[in-house]
C-alpha cells in the first residue's frame, strides 16, 4: 500500500502514566477503507492508543496524524471539527443513561446539525435499522443487554457518517449470538459505508475473521504486524504465543514477582 492510503500515521510515539512506560516508540499506519486490528495482552495500552489517536491523551514524544492533520497540534475547535468525522465505540457503550435509545442516537445530530426533527427521526431510524434495533428506540439504556448497548453505541457512532470508527474491545463479555452479530456488523458497516475501522481487541479468532491488517502490541512496542494469515503462519515467538493463546512465550503469564519458593517460605530476598 502507498503512503497516501494511510488515514492515520503513528510515528515514534512515547507515552507514560506516572513512572510506568506504556509506549516506547510505536509506529503504525492505519489504511483507508480497511479494518485494522490492534491486538495484544491485557494492560498493554491498546485503549490508551485509541485515546491518543482521538486526541484525548497527549504523547510525551512522537506524532499522530489523522487524515493529514497532526492531532496534537490542533486547536480545540479544529480538534472538535476532526472528531465529528471520527466515531468511537467504547467498551461500555458510554450511552447517556438519562435519555432513550432514540435520543442517544439523535444526540450527535442534534448537537452538530440544524436538521429538522422529522429528518433526525428518519436518520436515527435508519441507523437503528442498520444495527437491528429500530424496535428498541423507546427503551432506556438500563433496559438493554450489553450486546444491545454496544449496537446502539455503534448506531450513534455512525450517526454523523464518520470517515473512521475506533472500536474498543467490542467483543468482550458478549454471548455467542451478540458476538457473531457484532463481528458481522463491524465488517458490513466498514464495507457498506466506506469507513476505516480500528478494532482494539484480544479476541484473536473473532478479530482475525474481519481484520485486513493486524498489529501486535506488547511491552510498549509493536512486536509484529501483517495480515492475519501472515501472523498465524509467522515463526515469531510473539505471534505464535498470542495467536495460539499459549502460556509460555515472550509474554510472561506471571506478573513480575520474587522467587516462588522464597516467597512461600517467607525468606527475605
Partner 1 sequence: MFDIFQRLGASTLGILERLGRGATFLINILISLPTVLVRPRLLITQMFSIGVLSFSLIVISGLFVGMVLALQGFYTLSDFGAEGMLGVMVAASLVRELGPVVTGLLFAGRAGSALTAEIGLMKATEQLSGMEMMAVDPVARIITPRFLAGLISMPLLATLFTSVGVLGGYFIGVGLLGIDEGGYWSQMQSKIDFHQDIMNGLIKSVVFGWVVTWIAVFEGYDAIPTSEGVSRATTRTVVHSAFAILLLDFILTALMFGDV
Q: Binders of partner 1 among 45-64, rule CB under 8 A?
A: 51, 54, 56
Query: 3-state DSSP call for residue 116?
Result: coil
Note the Cα 139 to chain centre separation in Å. 26
- Please tell me what DSSP assigns to residue 33: T
- Residue 72 in the binding site for partner 1 (CB under 8 A): no
86 touching partner 1, by CB under 8 A: yes
Q: Rounded to the nearest whole angstrom, what is the least distance from the CB of residue 150 to partner 1 in the complex?
A: 12
Q: Are 49 and 128 in contact (CB under 8 A)?
A: no
80 binds partner 1 (CB under 8 A): yes
90 binds partner 1 (CB under 8 A): yes
**Cβ proximity of 102 and 137 under 8 Å:** yes
223 and 27 Cβ atoms separated by less than 8 Å: no
107 near partner 1, rule: CB under 8 A:
yes
With respect to partner 1, which residue has the nearer C-beta, 80 or 253?
80
For residue 221, give Cα distances in angstroms to 15, 16, 144, 212.
11, 13, 37, 20
Site string for partner 1, 125-164 (x = CB under 8 A): ----------------------------x--x---x----
The three cell numbers of residue 250 are 515472550
| Region 190-249 residues binding partner 1, contact defined as CB under 8 A | none
Q: Which positions lie near partner 1, rule CB under 8 A?
A: 51, 54, 56, 80-81, 83-84, 86-88, 90-92, 94-97, 107-108, 111-112, 153, 156, 160
Amino acid at each position: 500500500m502507498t503512503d497516501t492510503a494511510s488515514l492515520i500515521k503513528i510515528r515514534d510515539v512515547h507515552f507514560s502514566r506516572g513512572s510506568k512506560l506504556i509506549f516506547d516508540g510505536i509506529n503504525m499506519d492505519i489504511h483507508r477503507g480497511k479494518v485494522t486490528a490492534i491486538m495484544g495482552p491485557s494492560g498493554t495500552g491498546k485503549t490508551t492508543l485509541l485515546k491518543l489517536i482521538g486526541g484525548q491523551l497527549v504523547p510525551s514524544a512522537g506524532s499522530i496524524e489523522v487524515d493529514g492533520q497532526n492531532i496534537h497540534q490542533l486547536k480545540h475547535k479544529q480538534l472538535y471539527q476532526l472528531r465529528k468525522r471520527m466515531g468511537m465505540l467504547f467498551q461500555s457503550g458510554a450511552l447517556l443513561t438519562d435519555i432513550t435509545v432514540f435520543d442517544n442516537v439523535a444526540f450527535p445530530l442534534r448537537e452538530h446539525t440544524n436538521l429538522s426533527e422529522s429528518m433526525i427521526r428518519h436518520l436515527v431510524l435508519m441507523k437503528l435499522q442498520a444495527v437491528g434495533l429500530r424496535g428498541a428506540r423507546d427503551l432506556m439504556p438500563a433496559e438493554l443487554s450489553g450486546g444491545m448497548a454496544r449496537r446502539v453505541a455503534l448506531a450513534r457512532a455512525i450517526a454523523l457518517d464518520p470517515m473512521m470508527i475506533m472500536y474498543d474491545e467490542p467483543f468482550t463479555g458478549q454471548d455467542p449470538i451478540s458476538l457473531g452479530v457484532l463481528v458481522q456488523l463491524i465488517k458490513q458497516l466498514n464495507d457498506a459505508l466506506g469507513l476505516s475501522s480500528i478494532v482494539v481487541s484480544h479476541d484473536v479468532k473473532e478479530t482475525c475473521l474481519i481484520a485486513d491488517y493486524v498489529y501486535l502490541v506488547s511491552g510498549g512496542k509493536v512486536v509484529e504486524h501483517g495480515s492475519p494469515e501472515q501472523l498465524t503462519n509467522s515463526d515469531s515467538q510473539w505471534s505464535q504465543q498470542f495467536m495460539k493463546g499459549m502460556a509460555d512465550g515472550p509474554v510472561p503469564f506471571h506478573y513480575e514477582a520474587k522467587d516462588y519458593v522464597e516467597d512461600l517460605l517467607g525468606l527475605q530476598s
